[in-house]
Amino acid sequence: MPLAHPFDDDKLKEECGIFGAVGVADAANFVALGLHALQHRGQEAGGIVVHDPVHGFNSARRMGYVRDNFTSHEVMQTLPGNVGIGHVRYSTAGNKGQTAIRDVQPFFGEFSMGGAAIAHNGNITNADALRRELIERGSIFQSSSDSECIIHLMARSMGRTIPDRMEEALRKVEGAFSVVAMTRTKLIGVRDPLGVRPLVLGKFGDGYMLASETCALDIVGAEFIREVEPGEMVVISAKSGVQSHFPFRRRQSRFCIFEHVYFSRPDSILGGRSVYETRENIGRELAKESPVEADLVCPVPDSGTPAAIGFSLQSGIPYAMGIIRNQYMGRTFIEPSEQIRNMGVRLKLNVNRALIRNKRIILVDDSVVRGTTSRKIKDMLLDAGAAEVHFRIASPPTAWPCFYGVDTPQREKLLAATMTEDEMRDHLGVDSLKFISLDGLYRAVGEAEGRDPKAPKYCDACFSGEYPVAPTDMIEKGFQLKAAE
């Protein structure tokens, strides 16, 4: 099992990626390829469930990378069928480094009308309350995942069909969810009414695919049809095609804006917009808002690269690869010694000394969370002879935790929650530090007038502290919401 990289804990992590296929021979192969493309959304574990008329439901759940677990003939031949779903995950903040095989999705349930499997991206904000209620009524849970609540709610439903039962179950759920599910013949996809987490629909021959991102459709050669709309349920079969309906009350969508900043792959399409082009626009906005005299614009690879290119194009300051990433480090560096750990980010990043010596460097990164990695990178640049280091951050200060499916530290561990921008600059020891404004970020994603404070288009709770769905479980545990202004 790949261990969490010891120097990768200073980024927010999307906790899940999901993929489903129906109406294609050897669906498990499509699912495995799709999950491979979504590996950035979860690297701790993965699972696949399929159905075949002869062999019934079969599943495989493994710790670690898709490429290490779902590429061998021995494993894939145990997963026959023309319908299947899969899931990749990170461990949650509460179970850091303690992912258990019992928590690996998809989850399977046997109902009176047949079996069904379900995989979920997001977070159920009333999962603790639901779990308590279900246990008191006799349910026996097999995992610590909030997603299992959906299976138990479906089991208690009196709906005639599995989609009916899923509808009833999801009406009791609060929070953010994009779901892929399957029966013996159908693939089902659902997004929560706010559409916080992504889900897209594709077509391959006579078959169909559902995925967290369009890059997963690209890898299997599927045609991108459209996004599943917020609050929509699609029920898909090879015979009947796509049937769509809306089981939830219509609401203003609040898609996660951090998908544009960092989570999604730059080659994906979100809301009809290229993620790469949006990130380049973020860099341009950042250069307009926070110009500084310098010699080079350098990204923190790889997530800061598009924004750094945009900053360079807007400012006219040359772009350069001042930091080189070790592409083979990954997250599989097993049990490094204490001496190796003390080398810090040098295991993963190395300064291009000849390029940056005596130069004033603008360093562009996607975010600052705890600030630990930022300080180490700054030290590396100064040690290599940089004359000045100016940080430019392609997102507003991350001052609030996310409760909608992102692995976020507790609020007191977020640098922006306890320090002003000037205090963060001094803490990081850089010549200047500037974040893009929330209005600037909205302009970069296509909102020309910036953020409408009365009706924001996106979920930006990690920046604004304004949660579109109350985090019920966390409030019960004492979490303090932002006071009304």
Q: Quick check: is 459 catalytic?
A: no
The model carries a pTM of 0.92
Average pLDDT, the chain: 91
**Taking phi first (over 0 means left), then psi (-120 to 50 degrees means alpha), and beta for anything else, what does residue 26 get?**
left
Is the pLDDT reported for residue 333 higher than 50?
no
For residue range 233-281, list pLDDT tens digits in order: 999 998 999 999 999 988 999 999 999 999 999 999 999 999 999 999 9
The pLDDT assigned to 14 comes to: 62
Report d(CA 411, CA 401) in Å as an integer: 6
Report d(CA 472, CA 212) in Å as an integer: 26
Residue 319 is classified by DSSP as B
The pLDDT assigned to 327 comes to: 72
Average pLDDT value for residue range 456-483: 95
User: Where would I find the beta strands (DSSP E) of 36-159?
Assistant: 45-52, 56-63, 83-89, 107-111, 114-124
For residue range 51-104, list pLDDT tens digits in order: 999 999 999 999 999 999 999 999 999 999 999 999 999 865 444 445 689 999
**Second-level CATH architecture of 13-256:** 4-Layer Sandwich (3.60)
> Helix, strand or coil for residue 429?
coil
Is the pLDDT reported for residue 194 higher than 50?
yes
Using DSSP, how many helices (H) and how many strands (E) does the chain show? 18, 25
Percent of the chain with pLDDT over 90: 84
Could you tell me which CATH number the domain at 278-445 has? 3.40.50.2020
In the set 16, 149, 256, 298, the catalytic residue is 16
Cα–Cα–Cα angle for 319, 303, 119, nearest 5°? 160
Report d(CA 304, CA 314) in Å as an integer: 16
Domain ranges of the chain: 13-256, 278-445
Whether residue 10 contacts residue 413, with contact meaning beta carbons closer than 8 Å, is answered with no
